[in-house]
Amino acid sequence: MYKNLRWKLLTIVAVVVLSVWSFTPPGERVRLGLDLQGGVHLVMRVHTDDALRVETETAMEQLQQAVTDAGFAVGRIAREDLTRFVVEGVPPANDQQFRLLSSQQVELTFDRIGAGGGNYTFEMRPNIAVQRREEAVTQAIQTIERRVNELGVSEPVVAPYGAADQIVVQLPGLRDIDRAKAIIRNTAMLELKIVEGSWAPDEATLLQSHGGVVPENMEVVPGLTGSGASAASGFYLVRRAAAVTGSDLRNARPTVDEFNQPAVSFTLNSEGAAKFGRVTGANIGRQLAIILDGRVQSAPTIESRIDREGRITGNFTVQESDDLSLVLRSGALPASLSYLEQRQVGPTLGADSIRAGITASLVGLALVTLFMLVYYRLAGINAFVSISLNLIILLGFMAYLGAVMTLPGIAGFVLTIGMGVDSNVLIFERIREELGTNKGARQAIAAGFDRVFVTIVDTHVASLIAAAFLFQFGTGPIRGFATTLFFGLLSNVFTAVFVSRTIFEFILSRRAPGSTRLSI
């Protein structure tokens, strides 16, 4: 008997059993893509104007704060459009100081244009405007990817689409479409601001002490006071500049408040913690408005310095607190989104595709087996067994590693049959050549496999490199095909070389040592 033949057979059996266990039951263990199990296809537009407006308003606030800290005042700072704001009434005595402050604060992104009489116009540089629009789309893609990944969707596709400001999102197997759309579209802009005026039921009451006018560095924000059934809607007067924003968050998670009601706790990064500590330490006894998407969720009183952790309370349901935690963890969208297209792919189409793919694979395997039996006689059975095990191991690979099966992936299955045939043909022809030199069956098989091994490895390594490039630079269907091709190549090396040779050795081990007959 061949040396270590028993261990080779046990290895093959173990690999096959593990593969079958990995994809059993197939309906639960094999993850399907959008084209096979259905799902939702969304096309969205990123309103990049929002990103430019935020950039302009942030620059205004920074310059306003710098002027205030320097100890003088200007007549007016106001935004004129998306990329331009004006500063009027700079005192002549402070004109040089203002120029220096503006150079330090905003002139990396804005050009300063003097209009005379202490008036200035700040215009966003054209290259910066283009860059901010591109960054808004890129950041939106990254944020949406993080959100849909936490939804548990298998292999979502989030990528640029069509025009420069459009994004395509494909969510395979999604059931609750409305919830997913709400989570994707939610900007989740978190701001923590010091309250300058107590809550009031209407704006007129709120602004009585300010002559009915909103102060220059403040803003009125709608929000709630109280909790539960006693909560009432009204307005708060808060500072325009936020102490902390969502970009300073490190983590967020659902929790409960002191009344055992759903809430969201958050943790700040080191920079956010330092800012939050300074602001809360300087405003003990005052209210801190927790603002989400332009609405005050709660306004607790600052009782002591707070550094790293805080909590958002409000009239949340458990589901709302979970969703809010999710979108806060994934980061705020840089701009709002609108849906241009929504298309739902039904599972019926996917079932038909799976059925057609299985049929094509079985027919291909049957025709290949028939050819191998006619041309290589009983050795064709060896090819059939190795190719069949190749498909089983390939499916086990994909199920165990969580790879997604797509319609192009089924095409990869059919291609795997062809690769298996190609490898077996190389081996069988080499064995025929060795037998033609009057070698015995055992010597011919050993020489045939040894001499063709390097060729098989070379061709498969080259194909693996191609599959890796397809996966790296492809999207959607191309990546599905590349995934199946990659694992098919790995399993084919094992079956074509190891399994096929073991089968030959097992057959010859049952014959007399001097036998030279081989049906090939």
* Under 8 Å between Cβ of 53 and 81: no
Residue 455 CA from chain centroid, whole number = 39
**pLDDT confidence of 18, banded at 50, 70, 90?**
very high
pLDDT at 198: 77
The answer to whether residue 228 scores a pLDDT higher than 60 is: no
pLDDT tens digits for range 22-34: 888 887 788 777 7
Using CB atoms within 10 A of its CB, is residue 267 exposed (0-12), middle (13-18) or buried (19+)? Answer: middle
pLDDT (0 to 100) of residue 231: 67
Strand extents, DSSP E, 269-358: 288-292, 295-298, 309-312, 337-345
441 to 9, 220, 502, 517: CA distances (angstroms): 20, 91, 14, 6
- Ranges 16-30, 245-259, 290-304, most confident: 16-30
Give backbone dihedrals phi and psi of 163, rounded to 5 degrees, phi first.
-65, 165
At residue 519 the predicted structure's pLDDT band, cuts being 50, 70 and 90, is confident
Q: What pLDDT score does 362 carry?
A: 85
Among 179-188, 303-312, 355-364, 490-499, the range with the most confident prediction by mean pLDDT is 490-499
Could you read off the pLDDT of 498-517 as tens digits, one per residue?
999 898 888 888 766 655 56
pTM: 0.57
Strand 31-32 to 404-405 pairing: parallel
Q: Does residue 36 contact residue 349 with C-beta atoms inside 8 Å?
A: no
Contact 466, 364 (CB under 8 A): no
Buried b (16+ CB within 10 A) or exposed e, 202-220: eeeebbeeeeeeeeeebbe
Angle 456-477-475 (CA atoms, 0-180°, nearest 5)? 95
Determine what percent of the chain is predicted with pLDDT higher than 90. Answer: 9
Please check the confidence at residue 323 and state whether its pLDDT lies above 90. Answer: no
Please check the confidence at residue 327 and state whether its pLDDT lies above 70.
no
CB-based contact 264:338 (threshold 8 Å) = no
| pLDDT of 1 over the 50 cut | no
Give pLDDT, residue 294: 80
Domains in the chain, please, with CATH? 5-37+347-509 (1.20.1640.10), 49-126 (3.30.70), 186-341 (3.30.1360.200)
Least-confidence region, from 243-247, 481-485, 488-492:
243-247
CA distance 331 to 288: 21
Predicted pLDDT of residue 13:
92
Q: pLDDT tens, 431-487?
A: 888 888 877 788 888 888 888 888 888 888 998 998 888 888 776 667 778 888 898
Locus of tokens 């809430």: 263
Residues 119-173: tens digit of each pLDDT: 999 999 999 899 889 888 888 887 888 777 766 666 677 888 877 889 988 888 7
Looking at the predicted structure, is the pLDDT value of residue 347 above 70?
no
What pLDDT, on the 0 to 100 scale, is given for residue 516?
Answer: 55
pLDDT of residue 124: 93
The overall average pLDDT reported for the chain is 82
The whole-number pLDDT of residue 3 equals 59
Q: What average pLDDT score do residues 93-122 get?
A: 88
Q: Say which range, 218-227, 330-339, 507-516, has the weakest mean pLDDT.
A: 507-516
